[in-house]
Structure formats: structure tokens, C-alpha cells
Amino acid sequence: MEFLAAVIYRVKQFFQALGARICPGQIVIPNGYLSQEQQALFGRMSPADQLHSLKVFHTLREQGYHEADLLVAALLHDIGKAVGPLPLLHRVAIVLFRDGRWERWASPNPHSWRYPFFVYQQHAVAGARLAQAAGCSPLTVELIRGHHRPPHQCSNDLSRYYVIEEELLIALWEADEAN
């Protein structure tokens, strides 16, 4: 039953991404969260990624999170996907092969059909670099860097922060997975 629910969710997600169109005024970044430079980063994301990031942001707010570092990370966590092409068919393959098989197809050669897999594989690290260059706080940068791995795999990366930051990473990861 859980498998069927996951398949239905992914099919729905596919059609939402396929039809993602942004109407003027639809993407409203909540006031006071992003600087102008960070808003420009947000604008580089695909319409589907922008809508996804806003969903993650609003999910966290609805769960009672108000930490600025976490909410900025929610808005910018997928900015690394904008560094190269990441066509819908590649995204579908990544979802279909969630077991990681797609990772062996990744190639750093930007002229290869395999390059989008590399972009996806590296998007958290690339996003962290972009966020840092845009003036995000060190915690926001680390949340973006760690957002794509299950929290138990990257809790050591956050060891220089307090336990609350690990809780923020878990919250971001869960909201990202849910949206």
C-alpha cells in the first residue's frame, strides 16, 4: 500500500512539473527573508523548483518553524540545480531509480547526455557555494549542503553547531521529501 501511494504521489508530481507555469504574482517570496542577491538566486531556479521551494517553506512555517536560517534554506535549497541543465526526463530517471542506480550515469562532461545526472548529484554542494556567495549565514549554507542526504548521514557535518541545528536539518529534509 505504501508503494502504491508513493507511485501515485510521483505521477502527480510529474504532471505538476510538466505543467509548471508561473503567472505574474504567483511566486511571492515572503518579505524579509531573502536579500536582493538571494532573490536573484531564487529567480534562477526553474518554475517547478521555485514552487517546490515555496511549498517546503510554507510546510515548515505551518509546522511552527520561524528560524530565519532554516526558512532561507527552504527557499534556496535547490538552487544548485540551476547551474546546469536538468531536463524533466533526467528528473524522472532519478525518481524512478531512487535506489541510486542513476548515480553511475553521472558525468562531469557538460557535453554529455549524462551531465544532468552530475548536476543533480552535486546540486547540494553547488547550492551551498552559491548561497555563501550570496551572503547566506554559515548555518543556512550548511543546511543547504546537507539537505539532500538523510539526516543520519550528515549529522557529523553539523557537529560544530548545536543540537537544534541538527533538528533544523531533519525538519528541512522531511519537508523536502514531503513536497
Could you tell me the residue ranges of all domains in the chain? Answer: 2-21+45-178
Would you give per-residue pLDDT tens digits along the chain (179 residues)? 555 555 565 566 666 655 556 555 566 777 789 999 999 999 999 888 998 899 999 999 999 999 999 999 999 999 999 999 989 888 888 888 877 888 999 999 999 999 999 999 999 999 999 999 999 999 999 999 989 876 665 545 554 554 458 889 999 999 998 88
**Distance separating alpha carbons of residues 129 and 163, to the nearest angstrom:** 24
| DSSP codes of every residue in the chain | -HHHHHHHHHHHHHHHHHT--PPTTT--PPTTSS-HHHHHHHHHS-HHHHHHHHHHHHHHHHTT---HHHHHHHHHTTGGGGGS---HHHHHHHHHTTTTGGGGG--S-TTSTTHHHHHHHHHHHHHHHHHHHTT--HHHHHHHHHTTS-HHHHGGGGTTS-HHHHHHHHHHHHHHHH-
Report pTM: 0.82
